[in-house]
A and B are shown apart, each in its own frame.
Chain A
Amino acid sequence: MTTTTDDIAPAMTTTQVHRVYIKADAQKIWDAITQPEWTVRYGYTGVVDYDLRPGGRFAVHPTDEFRAGAEASGHPGLPDTIIDGEVLECEPPHRLVTTWRMLMDAGTAGEGFTRLTYEIKQLGGFCSLTVVHELEGAPKLYEILSGSLEDHGAGGGHSWVLSDLKSLLETGSGLAG
């Protein structure tokens, strides 16, 4: 972050902030983010593998269905790890910060590591879940995660994932059924 005044046009922000309110307790939302039996049921349906301590590894692996879908749409040879990173901060069930790199193709892999923060706040009978993705130097990833490539089969990005997660936790089923 550079320190400029408001009068000088600041650099274009590369941070995405997404927030959703979910009628569920913080622990359930934490589990839905960090446990593979939950993550295969919404959004991009990856199998997460977190070593939940600072310095621990983090990886996402494709399901067989995801791999078959990628092959059917002309993207064979998906790597066994499609996202990887390192846990930077871990305060269950309220805060998780990791580095985050997408390895699905050479373009996004070459952009290197970004920084992703999950914040879960209990607000009575529901929680806010805020996802802050700092995407400096990763314009391809920024485009994918903003959902602007949805019509090209790249999924709807963070807003699509969070909408689906809300459906899954509140109704018991998401888009993946």
Chain B
Amino acid sequence: MTTDEDGVFKALADPTRRFLLDLLFARDGRTLTELESGLEMTRFGVMKHLRVLADAGLVVTRRSGREKLHFLNPVPIRLVHDRWIDKYTERQVSALADLKRDLETEA
């Protein structure tokens, strides 16, 4: 667990960890077993990545009966967004993001 941005950027700088966040974005509140089945990786490897995500605050776990469920916590990404993208640049940035998406879906 950390309160600074370094942990967030470090956690996001890995394709497996981004994939885990994508899995949780598609369907939140999953068990380790469910997350593991989406990856060609050992259970230990997945646990290690989940630990980095949890340390960065991007994943929060909660108990539900006997299960430990993993939830995507978007707040740290929101904080980075609010810190780095101020109201004057937001419009231009989103216009560029739209352009990129349009160009890439046409290709």
Q: Closest residue of chain A to B57, judged by CB?
A: A19
The residues of B that contact A21 with a CB separation of less than 8 Å are 1, 3, 57
**Which residue of B1, B64, B79 has the most chain A CB atoms within 10 A of its CB atom?**
B79
Chain A residues closer than 8 Å to B65, beta-carbon distance: 1, 3
From A13, which residue of chain B is reached at the shortest CB distance?
B29
Determine which residue in B62, B67, B77, B78 has the highest number of CB atoms from chain A within 10 A of its CB, and name it: B78
Q: Give complex CA distance A158, B82 in Å.
A: 14
**Residues of B within 8 A of A (CB-CB), count:** 24
- State which size class the interface on A falls in: 20 to 34
Task: Please report which residues of chain B, range 2-61, place their CB below 8 angstroms from some CB of chain A when the two chains form the complex.
Answer: 3, 27-31, 33-34, 57, 60
Q: List which A6-28 residues lie within 8 A (CB) of chain B.
A: 6, 12-13, 15-21, 23
Count A-B pairs with CB separation below 8 Å: 61
CB distance from B100 to the nearest CB of A (A): 16
With A130-B60, A166-B79 known as contacts, the answer to whether A19 contacts B27 (CB < 8 A) is no
Q: Are A19 and B31 in contact (CB under 8 A)?
A: no
- Considering the complex, which residues of chain A in the window 138-175 have a beta carbon less than 8 Å from any beta carbon of chain B? 147, 156, 158-160, 162-164, 166-167
List A contacts of B67 (CB < 8 A). Answer: 6
B79 touches A163 (CB 8 A): yes
Question: Measured between C-beta atoms, what is the minimum distance from B76 to chain A in Å?
Answer: 8
A51 to B57, CA, bound (A): 32
Shortest Cβ distance from A27 into chain B, in angstroms?
A: 19
Contacts A21-B57, A163-B82 known; A16 to B28 CB distance under 8 Å?
Answer: yes
Instruction: Please judge, given known A-B contacts A1-B65, A17-B71, A21-B57, whether A160 and B78 are in contact too, CB under 8 Å.
Output: yes
Residues of A within 8 A of B (CB): 1, 3, 6, 12-13, 15-21, 23, 123, 126, 128, 130, 132, 147, 156, 158-160, 162-164, 166-167
